[in-house]
Amino acid sequence: MTDQGVESMTRWQDRAAAWKLAPIAALATVLAFAAPAAAADQSTTVAQASPSAVTIGQPVNLTATVSCPGDPSGGLGMTFFDGGDLLDTVPVSADGTAAYTAHPTTVGTHTITAAYNGNDNCGASHDETTVVVSAAPVPPTTPSTGPCLLACGGLISYNIGDIHNEVNIYRGS
């Protein structure tokens, strides 16, 4: 074969290889620039605690609201955390709300995280709020009866209370 024939054959092989690669290159281009069909829209979560200050054992109503262009319900719901401790995962309604009632058992400032887990319509998001938990107050002691003057059940008696002292004077009839 002449040099010209070898050169012609090489060009033909190069063109055939290029035509074989063209569909693959076109598909790669489409996939690279196409938006994913099931991409979830961005969401925003807002967490709230009511009341935000309680004593140990008192209930705290935790609510979280998800905003996104699609329906936020379904999916994996809303997960509430107290610091690193998992409280619970609850469903999210079609209006984007989720609620959980917590009963804190330790004193201090608790960071509550509401983590929306997302679904096919909405991407995941989270927010934090705080709850300050104090010790339960000590119940007052029962007032004791003081000594009786002039005989118990008589003319004058008094009780010692936790806030004020009470003096009763009885008049005979």
pLDDT of 165: 55
Look up residue 22 and give its two tokens. 């063209």
Could you give the 3-state DSSP secondary structure of residue 33?
A: helix
Backbone angles phi and psi of 165, in degrees to 5: -100, 145
Band of residue 26 on the pLDDT scale cut at 50, 70, 90: very low
pLDDT above 80 for 67: yes
What's this model's pTM, rounded to 2 decimal places? Answer: 0.59
pLDDT above 80 for 35: no
Band of residue 153 on the pLDDT scale cut at 50, 70, 90: low
Q: Show the beta-strand stretches assigned E in 14-124.
A: 44-50, 53-55, 60-67, 78-82, 85-90, 97-102, 108-116
pLDDT of 157: 55
pLDDT of 74: 85
pLDDT above 70 for 51: yes
CATH superfamily of domain region 44-134: Immunoglobulins (2.60.40.10)
pLDDT averaged over every residue in the chain: 76
Could you give the 3-state DSSP secondary structure of residue 22?
A: helix
